[in-house]
């Protein structure tokens, strides 16, 4: 299984269409690795960020708690070995449509806002990943606003 995931990360394609042979778990690992990169951008991976990420794995990927933790561990391993973000964003470019990339952008902003503060590097990294995913800046602003609204809704409860 791990070899199958690694083979997807190793392969690069100039084709912008979805890769029908992509292992769905590899796509989850790629997205999770990017989210982990953002979570670690300010030098700490807080409990609030971890909780947010675990919730996202269940809600958006439909993973059980156990499967979510396994994907999280695989993503952390891949993130630590990576020399750049392209290995993750290229998987998502081949497999995500614009709507899915928008949802990921909102999740990224939700993660940034989870600890109640936006570090400069978190902001920069979110913009960089969005650019690598070929999302227009207006989409990123919309995702940020939606994540902020959702965070305010949770805080008001």
Choose which CATH entry (3.90.25.10, 1.20.120.80, 1.10.3720.10, 1.10.3680.10) describes domain 2-8+21-150: 1.10.3680.10
pTM for the model stands at 0.81
Kindly compute the dihedral angle of the four CA atoms of residues 9, 123, 62, 18, in this order, to the nearest 10 degrees. -40
pLDDT of residue 6 exceeding 60, the answer is no
Q: What is the average pLDDT across 127-138? A: 92
d(CA 43, CA 14): 34
CA 26 to chain centroid, in Å, comes to: 12
Domain ranges of the chain: 2-8+21-150
Q: What is the average pLDDT across 83-95? A: 95
43-70 pLDDT, tens digit per residue, is 888 888 888 899 989 988 899 989 999 9
């Amino acid at each position: 299984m791990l070899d199958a995931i690694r083979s997807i990360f190793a392969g690069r394609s100039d084709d912008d269409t979805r890769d029908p042979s992509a292992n769905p778990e590899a796509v989850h690992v790629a997205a999770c690795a990017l989210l982990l990169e953002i979570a670690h951008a300010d030098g700490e991976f807080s409990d609030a960020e971890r909780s947010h990420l675990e919730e996202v794995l269940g809600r958006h990927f439909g993973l059980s708690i156990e499967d979510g933790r396994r994907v999280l561990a695989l993503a952390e391993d891949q993130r630590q070995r990576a020399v750049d973000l392209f290995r993750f964003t290229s998987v998502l470019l081949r497999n995500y449509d614009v709507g899915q990339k928008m949802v990921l952008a909102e999740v990224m902003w939700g993660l940034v806002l989870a600890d109640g503060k936006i570090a400069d590097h978190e902001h920069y990294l979110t913009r960089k990943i969005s650019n690598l995913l070929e999302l227009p800046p207006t989409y990123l602003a919309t995702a940020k606003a939606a994540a902020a609204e959702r965070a305010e809704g949770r805080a008001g409860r």
